[in-house]
Amino acid sequence: MKVGNLFLSLLAPISAIIFSLAVGALVLLIVGIDPIDAFGQMVTFSADSTSLASSINKAVPLYVSAVAVAIGFQMNMFNIGVEGQYLIAAMFAGWVGTNVVLWGPLHITAIILTAVVVGAIWAGIAGALKVTRGVNEVISTIMLNFIAFSVIAYLLANRFAVESTSLNLSTGKLPESGLLPDLNFLITMFGFAEPRGIAIPGFLVIAVLLGIGYYVLVWRTRFGFDLRISGMNPGSARMSGVNPKKMIFYTMLISGGVAGLVGLSTLVGKLGAYTQDFPRGIGFAGIAVALLGRNHPIGMALGALLFGVMDRAALVLKLEGIPEEIVVIIQGVIVLAVVVAYEIFGRIIARREVRAAADALENLDTGAGVTA
């Protein structure tokens, strides 16, 4: 029974991915490109240590973003504002990192804390508005995203950017103590070639810890229980003694705090500064990954990696003269297909559970004479 359901749950994302690849193949066929060749190129290309490192590099921020979104999902809240939260957090973290120099580990800690706090504050605005004024968080976080862009624009140009001949406005470069070392030994120790030019980010460790922390917090602590039940049924949660307003606010704070970390793998990794062209769009992609992984820490890790691999593999398409936008289409379709698939399989599972319970009852009834 259990195994059957697990199988069904896995079948959902797998069938969605297959469906999306089929859609992608169809689109390629229509414009006269051999999809087998295209996908084959992608596969071959992604199978080396550089591609692996690159994929992980892309996956780490996606994963963190997905966790931030998932925390909101756990209590039926949509933090669409991860995008704004991580950008503004990364900017402040970059600024603090160059202006406040502390002893080694303290320095990096200060940077990370800054990002967490700024992300939490920005999300906290939406939380506070929801709690005190009943403002729907979807709309307020969308608005806060745009406002964040303006704030970043103003602060970066007028306050935070260092003098430079480059047009790419940037906070100062973080000193060595503000950076995390790479983890390429993870690849080389197995005898594979050192990835070229791209490293497995040291932030991976923090991402893994984050995933574990997320799991423990949500499923193993009373706080997580309160959080989940507030999402499942606010009325029951409230009657049981949980203050849903507080939970909403805390959830937004935590989600925002995690969102603040999204940009850090880039900030304290390779880039070492917050620049005008700091990677965008990870907040929105994080929503997709959270959906793909069903808010489960391992599911999301796989989802993030899948997106990371696809992004990396897309590079080869252009080299081969194939429009790489096909990858974006496939990703979009995956997201839609996966939620549809979960919905369908979810219903099948629920129906099976109810029936199983009913069957079991029948056995009970006919079995021992259990009566009131």
Partner 1 sequence: MTADLHEPMVEAKNGSFKWSRWGRFLAIFVVAMIALSAIQEVAGTTQLTSSGTWGAALRLTVPILLAGLGGLYSERAGVVNIGLEGMMIAGTWFGAWAGWQYGPWWGVVLGVVGGAGFGLIHAIATVTFGVDQIVSGVAINLLAAGAMRFLSVVTYTIGTGGGATQSPRIQDFIQTFDVPLLSPFLQSIEDKSWFFFSDIAGILGGFTTTVSWLTVIGLLAVPVSSWLLWRTAWGLRLRSVGENPWAAESLGVPVLRMKYWGVLISGGLAGLGGAYLVLVQAGIYREGQTGGRGFIGLGALIFGNWIPAGVLAGAGLFGYADALRLRQATAVHALLLLIAVGLVAFALWKVYKKSYGSAGSMAVFAILFFLWWLTTDEVPTEVVTATPYIATLLVLSLASQRLRMPAADGIPYRKGESH
Partner 2 sequence: MTENDRAVELVDITKTFPGVIANDNVNLSVGLAEIHAIVGENGAGKSTLMNMLYGMIVPDSGEIRVRGEVEHFRSPKDAIDHGIGMVHQHFMLADNFTVLENIVLGFEPRSGLTIDFKEAREKIIDLGSRYGMTIDPNTLVEHLSVGQRQRVEILKVLFRGASILILDEPTAVLVPQEVDELFANLKVLRDNGVTLIFISHKLDEVLSVADSITVMRGGKTVANVLPSDVDAGQLAELMVGSELPVPETTDSTVTDTVALRVEGITHRSPDGRTLLDDVSLSIHNGEIVGIAGVEGNGQSELIDALMGVIRPDAGSVELDGTDISQDSTMKRHELGLGIIPEDRHRQGLLLNAPLWENVMLGHQSQPPFVKGPFIDMKGAKSATEAVVDRFDVKTPNINVPALALSGGNQQKLIVGKEMMANPNVLIAAHPTRGIDVGAQAAIWDELRDARRAGLAVLLISADLDELIGLSDTLLVIFDGKIVASLNPAEVTPEILGSYMTGVGQEVAS
Partner 3 sequence: SSSSDDDTTTTAASGGDTATTTEASGDDTPTTTAAAAETTTTAAEAMPGEGVSVGMAFDIGGRGDQSFNDSAAAGLEKAITDYGIDTTELEADAGGENREENLRLLAEAGNQLLIAVGFAFAEGVTNVATDFPDTFFGIIDDGSIDLPNVAGLVFAEHEGSALVGAAAALKSESGTIGFIGGVSGFGLIEKFQAGYEFGAQQINPDIEILVTYLSAAPDFAGFNDPAKATESALGMYDEGADVIYHAAGGSGAGLFEAAKSFSESSSSKVWAIGVDSDQYNTVDPAVQEFILTSMIKRVDVSVYTTITNFLEDNKQSGVLVFDLAADGVGYSTSGGFVDDIVDQLDALREQIVTGELEVPTEPAG
**Contact between 142 and partner 1 per CB under 8 A:** yes
Cβ proximity of 248 and 132 under 8 Å? no
Residues that bind partner 1 (rule: CB under 8 A) add up to a total of 42
The reply on whether position 312 binds partner 3 by CB under 8 A is yes
* Nearest distance from C-beta of residue 303 to partner 1, angstroms: 14
Only one of the segments 128-136, 178-186, 254-262, 276-284 lies at the binding site for partner 3 (rule: CB under 8 A); that segment is 276-284
Both tokens assigned to 127: 């939380």
**Residue ranges in 296-324 assigned as alpha helix (H):** 297-319
User: Rounded to the nearest 5 degrees, what angle is found at the Cα of 122, between the Cα atoms of 118 and 128?
Assistant: 130
CA of residue 55 relative to chain centroid, distance: 14
Binds 192, which of partner 1, partner 2, partner 3, none (CB < 5 to 8 A, cut-off by type)?
none
Between 157 and 360, name the residue whose CB sits nearer to partner 2. 360
183 binds, among partner 2, partner 1, partner 3, none (CB under 5 to 8 A by kind): none
Integer Cα distance of 222 and 163 in angstroms:
50
Instruction: Give the contacts of 67 (CB within 8 A, at least 6 positions apart).
Output: 210, 211, 214, 258, 290, 297, 300
Tell me which residues touch partner 2 (CB under 8 A): 219-226, 228-229, 232-233, 235-236, 238-243, 350-351, 353-361, 364-365, 370-372
143 binds, among partner 2, partner 1, partner 3, none (CB under 5 to 8 A by kind): partner 1
CA distance 372 to 366: 15
Spatial distance between the Cα atoms of 337 and 21, rounded to a whole number of angstroms: 11
What would the two tokens of residue 222 be?
């009373």
Q: Which does residue 220 touch among partner 2, partner 1, partner 3, none (CB within 5 to 8 A, set by kind)? A: partner 2
Judged by the rule CB under 8 A, the positions of this chain that interact with partner 1 are 27, 31, 78, 80, 129, 132-136, 138-140, 142-144, 146-147, 149-151, 153-154, 284-285, 287-288, 291, 323, 325-326, 328-329, 331-333, 335-336, 339-340, 343-344
